[in-house]
Structures are given as structure tokens and as C-alpha cells.
Structure 1
Amino acid sequence: MIEWDGVLYGVMVTVLAVFVAFGAIPVLAMAYQFLLIPVHAVRNHYGRAAPYLPNVAIIVPAWNEGAVIGVSIDRLMALEYPEGALRVYVVDDASTDDTPQVVQAKAREYPGAVFHLRREVGGEGKAHTLNHGIRHVLQDDWMHALLIMDADVIYLPDSLRRMTRHLADEKVGAVTAYIREGSRDKNYLSRFVAFEYVLSQIGSRRAQNVLGALACLAGGAQLHSRTNLEDIGGRIDTSSLAEDTVTTFETQLRGRRVVFEPYAVVLAEEPHAIGALWKQRLRWARGNVQLTARYRKVWFRPSREHRLGSISFGLFWFSVFLLPCLMIASSIGLIGLFLLDSQLALTVFRALWIVAACTYVYTMLLAAQLDPATGRSSWREAILFPGAISIVVMITAFFPGLIEERIPALFGLQFTDEALVAWTLFVYSWVSLSMLAAWGAKHLDSTRPGRWLCPLLVYLIGYGPILCAITFDSYVKEARGAAMVWDKTEKTGRVLG
């Protein structure tokens, strides 16, 4: 006779163990990506690149960018590129500051190379602003390639020619560059962003180059061949908050390759406060929610035309897109196993966090080598990227009893049974609690005490949980049908000149 209680217990343990295993998916995906990075030395596009300097039209969308647009134009005119082969079109989105006057002065300074295009009705979003400029440059045959950039970014002198060489291959439709955080007066948050960009760009995008499928052209550094631009409709998508990602996907779905050029460096000013970061990344995350649904027939469907449907690319995409859900599932699994008094709880907890710790050490060390300058300036942020509390949890996984018994014993202390249960529940649920703590940090940051407390809090909870919390917020905003607003990130002209 079957013992149904035993069967039910076994089923519950199995289901909860699977929940815990979900938490390992993003960790393993990150490890897989960074294991691919050394392969980029032999599997890349450089063999098909060649010196190529086409006529490039540069479109710069600008709304109230008077503080930064003048310097940006000067730096564009100083690029290592043939004279007469660059034209800068600043699309003024009904600015109310001195942007028109600054651009018009630069147009007089650089006749025939700088143009001011005015939109009298603005505020519709970046894509509409870009399309105004694209319609203009497509009216004649002068332009062979189009560069889309942001008003505040600074291109290093050799960056554009490093990008255009990839367009010598007709199979390449678009190229993007490495956006590096370039503020003069970095604070703790901008240093976290700087290291994040090392991980997500010169790290992950190198791996995507190896796979032959790129997730996104950086919004401030999109170089398109004219042919590709015309094939995707001669315009930028206006139905999504992730217009740059839509353009990236549409390019590849039409059989053209998108290439990341890690040695083309573009400096940008990134948010210095959690609220500004949240606003910027929420727009990106909501765009990715929209895009994931839009291309639902692409995922995990290998194709001869493109690599977006490959298993590897789908794993990379969804390990980030579903990260909050996977973390919550992992916490539920661990807590459930603990409450069932299953010995499996400690085993899977240790396995999960040991794998996470090994991946963390490997990725941070490799990332620091990919951009040594950022590695040196952001070494604290690299160490504490997952947060000091997560590092303590990792130590707990590696050395059972160290935190709960051995260290207290050195001071003649001993945890009560109740305290041990509370501690165990805390470490088992930390990956989910950290997102809640990140949400709290966002609200604290807008208060007067938050100016002093937030840096300490972020170092404790980590920068990664902030990104996870923003992704979760994007789910909520999309489910509620919140208005799609293209919020401009405030810039102050602090980019290194």
C-alpha cells in the first residue's frame, strides 16, 4: 500500500529543489558568458574588417542640452576622420534653453559640417526626434553611414574609424561601441555603473560577438550602413521604450550582422543618484519587457538567417529578463525545504552559493583585466558589487557554522535556537530581501539623511540587487499599463574632456 504522506513529502521536496535550481540559472549563464570571452581573441569580426571611411551623417537628438552640446560638437569635429566626410545634424526637440543658439553658433564655426534641425513640437520621445533627422539625411545620396549618438557623450578621437572598418563587410548592418562612464567627479554610484558597463559591454558583448547575436546597440553609439537603415524602414521604431534594441533585432532578423567594437570608446555621464538611475533603467527594463513579448516567436527557434533564436542567446536574454523571478523562486525553495526539515536545504543552499561565489570571483577578476583603468578606480565597487551581506552569505555557504558558532564562540557567545532559525531564514531568503532593501534605498536616497546613509546601504546590499529591483518594477509598471514616458536623464556636462 502506498504511503501517501511519504509520496507527498517527496513531491514537495522535489518541487522545492527545482525552485532552488532556478536560482542557479543566471549564475551559470553569467559563467558561460565570461568563459566565452577569451574565445573572442580567435572568433571575432576583425578578419573581415578593413580600413573604410564612408561619408557619415551624425544625428544628435537634443532637448535642453545647452550645457553639453557645444563641447560634443567640437569633439566630433576633432575626430580622426577625413575632412568633409562628416556632417553633424543636431535635431533640436523644441528646446527651451540656449541649445538653438549654441548649435547655430557651431554651424557658423563649421560651415557645411554642422546643421541645426528644429522641431517646433517636442516631447514625443527620442525615436521621433531621431526620425526627424533621418528623414532629412535620406533625402540625398551623400550619406553612406549614419551614426546615432547622445548629446552629452564624447567620442575618443579614433573611435569612429574603429567602428566604420566593420562596415567594409557588406554583411554587417550596424556597429556599436563601448560606452564608458566618464564623469569628472565620480561618486560611489557612478563607479558602480562604470564597473557594470565593463561587465555588460566589454564583457558580455564580447561573448555575444562570439555567438554572432547582439542584444542591443548602445543608444549613444549606433552606426548603421545606409543600406541597413533603408532595409529596416528608414526610421526608428516609436512603439517601444527600447527603440535601440528593436533596431538591433530588426537588423539581425533581416540577415545582417551587428558587431560590438570594444576598442571604440565613448565617454558618457551616468546618474549619480539612485532615483536618476532608477528612472533611466526603468525605461530600459520596460522596453525589454515590451520587446520580449514582441519577439516571442524568435526565442529558442534556431534560424539560418540569424542567431537570435539560438539556445545560448535565449539563455543569456532570459537569465537577465527573469532574474527577479528566479531569485524569488530560489528563496521560496530554500525556505520551503527548511520548513519541511529536509536535509536537502543546506546541501542545495551551499551548492547554489558556492557556484555563485566562484562565478563572482572569476567574472570580477576578468572584468578588471578587460578595462584596467576602471578596475583600478572602481576596485571597491568590484569587490562589493553583490553587496557585503551577500559576501557574508557566501562565506556561510563555504564554511558552515563559522558565522553561527565559531565566531560567536571566540567572544563567549552562543546563538539561541530561535536566533539560529532566524539567521537561517535570513540567509536563505537574502537574494529576495536584497531587492526589497534596494527599493528602500531608492526612497531613502531622496531624503536628507539618505545623502550620507545611501552609500553605506548600497555597499551592504550591493548594486546588483538595485538592478534586479528595477527589473521587477518594470513588470509591475507594464502590468498596470503605466504611461510610456521617455524621461530624459539630466546631464550637467561633467564628462571628461
Structure 2
Amino acid sequence: MDAALELAGGIAHELALFAAIAFLIGGVDDLAVDLLWLGRTGWRRLTGAPAAPALPAPVRPGWLAVFVPAWDEAAVIGQMLRAALARFDHPDYRIYVGCYPNDPETLEVVQAVAARDSRVRPVIHRREGPTTKADCLNGVWAALLADEAARGERAKAIILHDAEDVVHPQELRLFDRLIEAHAMVQIPVLPLAVPGSRWVSGHYLDEFAEAHGKQLVVREQLGAAVPAAGVGCAFERDMLERIADGRHDGPFDADSLTEDYELGLRISALGGRGTFARLRAADGSLIATRAYFPATLDAAVRQKARWVTGIALLGWERLGWTDSLAESWMRMRDRRALLAAITIAVGYVAAFLATGTVLAGTAAGKPTGEIGPGLALLININAALLIWRMLMRGLFVGNAHGWREGLISIPRAAVANLIAILSAWRALGRYLAIKRGTAPQWDKTAHAFPDISVPL
């Protein structure tokens, strides 16, 4: 019994030491971003975003192309298109919807909307689906080129949206203004909590509140590349053609699981300037893309596994590193998801093992569980960093979604940790399968469209 307790205690100590050191590194990393945000923008930037009407009018007129890839989206694509057509405040745009020949339900819905409004253009992919989202977008790109030739006028910008997105009325006018000075423009993404799924779907509120309220702001200020989110983003048409000229199938890399993220970084590498536009409309609303995110544990794990596979694993191989310190730091932050998940899992195991050892030792009349001064110091520092982290998260979530959600975001971190661990495990398996020759495939999740008749 004594030997078993001693062994268990030793294992718990070593695991705790590993986790504590890794938590400290991650905590200092996050703290540095927080301090940069506070020092350079602060609360004023979070709540006092300038209004889009203050921007100058576009100098160069032109029409805008909105790309919407759609595989198995019959349940939402009709609502999304009708809402976009009703909400977009812009005189000249066209929505291209990429469909597949073996998905007749989605195609039928899109064609029905297109029959009533010529601004919707169904595009039937040359291959059966699902392929990858990037491959679908390349098919849409080919249709755009054909339309440009027939129209005799090139599009000014290409905007990406998903089939479940709720668009902002002013976003096209914002893109029209800013794309003249930038190769890529990204507006915030605001997840909506799915009714009945405050904990799973709600954790997206927490993560995007910080990512699009602080992290992208700091990223741009440091001069690092601004990655595209894949929705609510606009690309200069000539920049996409420049990228497409270096490929055989279009500007979107069909072998990538996170083509949007990679595209933002590649544009920066080519000298293009990306920007994160956090602006408000005249009515005070934030010009952003809103959407429901996965509401079940399985769906959230699948979606995040795709992100981890594409960014943290394949992205490391495909994009590498740069000579820029700021850019390398941001890429390191993008790619730390797998290590963070391992650290969280090790921390939980260490905590449970240490607790079990203490309880067993106490029951046997041989108390154990003494912590050395070094580990105790690490634990105390990490506790302080954790409190700071939860306060910052609550601040950003509260500002974006109300203080009730801000308070719930603190215990909801445990759900986010569980999803991170499970998605990292799935991502690792998917990565190994791809390395063995399995073709990347569109591992999409089921979507729902919110009731836009009520305030979002």
C-alpha cells in the first residue's frame, strides 16, 4: 500500500509539474496579448468602434460577388438567401451558390430562389460531393470568370459566406469602401447561442468574443497577417486571380481543410494588406456576421477537429514559419491548440490522481500530498493568471452578448476544455489518416437558421 501510494503521488507530482509549466507558458502568452490590447486600444476600442458612415465613399464603382458553398444545406440555404436579398443594402451584387449534382434537395431550393431573383446564381459543381469547401469555391470561381466574360465587367471583390449566415445590411457597403485600400477585409463573427444549448453552442460566444474583439485587433496592430474566418470576409478580385494563376484549379486550395485561414496568410505573404474592420452602422449595431454554431458535443468536436487539423497540424507543414517575430508569434498561437489540449488533459489527470492519493492516504492513516515549494509557486502563479483570464473573458463576452452570458462564460470554460480535448484527439486521428493517403473531405455539421424576425 505504501509503495503504491508513493508511486501514485510521484506520478501525480510529475504530471502536475509538466502541466503547471505548460499552463504558465500559455498564461504568459495570453497575458501578453491582453496587455498589448489594453495598452494600445483598451476599453475604448471595444465599446467605441467608429461608425461605417464616417468612411469615405468608394472611389471606384464595381459589382460584388458573394460566394456561398453549399453541401447538404437544403434546411437553411433558402432562408439564408431570402434574408440576404432582403437585408443587403447595395446596388450591385450577385450571390453565387455552389451546389453538387448529387445533392438535389439543396439545388432545388437554390433554383427556386433564383427563379424569383436573378441576383442568385446557382453553380453546379463538376464533381459529386462532398469534396472540400475550397474545391466547391473553386467551382464557383470558374462560374464567376464565365459571367465576367459575358458581362464584360470584372467583379470588384469576392465575399465569402456560409449557408447558415445572417448577414448585416451594411456589410457590402463596408466591403465596397475598404477593399479599395486592402486585399482582404474581415468583419467580426458573432455566434448566436442555440436555444437549449447554452453550454455547448454558448462556448463559441466566449471564444469568438475574445478572438474577434481582441486577438485580431492586436494581430493587425503588430503587423502580422490577418487570417480570414471564411465568413464575413471580402477579397480583392485581382489578388484572388493572382493566387489562382499559380494554381491549376482556382484561388482556393482544394487540399486544405482551412482554406480561408490559409488564404489570409498567403495574401499577406504576397504583399497584400489585410484588415480587421470592427465598425458600427448608423443605428449602433456592430457590422458583423451572425450565425448558429454547433449545438451538440459531437458536432462541436467534429467542427473543431477540422480547425485543429487544418491550422495546428497541416497548417504547420503547409505554411511553415516566417522571419517576422510578430508573425511567428501569432502562428505559434494558432498552432498551440493540440499542445493546449494535452496540457489540459494532463492537468485533469494530475488533479484527480493527486486527490485520490490524498484520500487513500488519509483513509489508511498515512497522509500524503505534500507539494514542494517550486510546484506550489507555479500553482499560485497559474491561479492568478487563471483569475485574470476568466475576468478578461467575462469582460469581452459581457460586452458582446450581455453580462449574463459574461458570467456564464466562466464555468462554461470547463465545457470548452472538454471539447478541446476531444477535438484534439479526433484531429490527430484525422491528420494521421491524411498522411496515410486519405483525401481531405468536407466534414460538415448540420446547420439551423435563426428567427430573424426577433432582435439577434
TM over 0.5: yes
State the alpha-carbon separation in 2 of the partners of residues 280 and 216 from structure 1: 18
Superposed, which structure 2 residues align to 1:1-400 within 5 Å?
20-38=20-38, 39-40=40-41, 50-52=56-58, 54-83=62-91, 85-111=92-118, 113-119=119-125, 121-139=128-146, 140=148, 141-169=153-181, 172-182=182-192, 185-188=195-198, 189-214=200-225, 216-233=227-244, 234-262=250-278, 263-288=286-311, 289-298=313-322, 301-302=323-324, 308-309=327-328, 311=329, 313-327=330-344, 342-369=372-399, 371=400, 374-376=401-403, 378-387=405-414
State the alpha-carbon separation in 2 of the partners of residues 227 and 349 from structure 1: 52
The one-letter amino acid paired with 2:76 is: V
Q: TM-score, normalised by structure 1?
A: 0.71
Q: 1:66-109, CA deviations, whole angstroms, 9 ceiling, x for partnerless residues? A: 222222222222345332x1011111122534322322222222
**Residue 440 (structure 2) pairs with residue 487 (structure 1):** no
Q: Against the structure 1 CA distance between its residues 33 and 148, is the aligned structure 2 distance closer, same or farther, given a 3 Å change threshold?
A: same
Q: Larger deviation: 478-487 or 55-64?
A: 478-487
The DSSP-based 3-state class of the residue aligned with 1:115 is: strand
The DSSP-based 3-state class of the residue aligned with 1:154 is: coil
Q: Against the structure 1 CA distance between its residues 42 and 274, is the aligned structure 2 distance closer, same or farther, given a 3 Å change threshold?
A: closer
Q: Is the 8 A contact 1:191 1:377 kept in 2?
A: no
The DSSP-based 3-state class of the residue aligned with 2:69 is: strand
The one-letter amino acid paired with 1:343 is: P
Consecutive unaligned residues of structure 2, counting only runs of 5 or more, are: 1-12, 245-249, 279-285, 355-367
State the alpha-carbon separation in 1 of the partners of residues 344 and 338 from structure 2: 12
Q: 1:444-466, CA deviations, whole angstroms, 9 ceiling, x for partnerless residues? A: xxxxxxxxxxxxxxxxxx32342
Q: Against the structure 1 CA distance between its residues 184 and 20, is the aligned structure 2 distance closer, same or farther, given a 3 Å change threshold?
A: closer
State the alpha-carbon separation in 2 of the partners of residues 318 and 99 from structure 1: 35
- What residue is the counterpart of 1:424 in the other structure? none
Q: Is the 8 A contact 2:190 2:288 kept in 1?
A: yes
Q: 1:355-375, CA deviations, whole angstroms, 9 ceiling, x for partnerless residues? A: 222232233224422x1xx13
Q: TM-score, normalised by structure 2?
A: 0.77
Q: Is the 8 A contact 1:29 1:319 kept in 2?
A: no
Consecutive unaligned residues of structure 1, counting only runs of 5 or more, are: 1-12, 388-461
Q: 1:191-237, CA deviations, whole angstroms, 9 ceiling, x for partnerless residues? A: 22222221222232222222232453112223101121112224200
State the alpha-carbon separation in 1 of the partners of residues 308 and 232 from structure 2: 19
The structural deviation recorded for 1:331 is 7.8
Kindly indicate whether structure 1 or structure 2 has the higher relative contact order, using CA contacts under 8 Å at least 6 residues apart: 2
Q: Larger deviation: 91-100 or 152-161?
A: 91-100
State the alpha-carbon separation in 2 of the partners of residues 195 and 92 from structure 1: 32
Q: Larger deviation: 134-143 or 17-26?
A: 17-26
Equivalenced residue count is: 396
Q: Is the 8 A contact 1:56 1:87 kept in 2?
A: yes
RMSD after superposition: 3.3
State the alpha-carbon separation in 1 of the partners of residues 84 and 381 from structure 2: 51
The DSSP-based 3-state class of the residue aligned with 1:362 is: helix
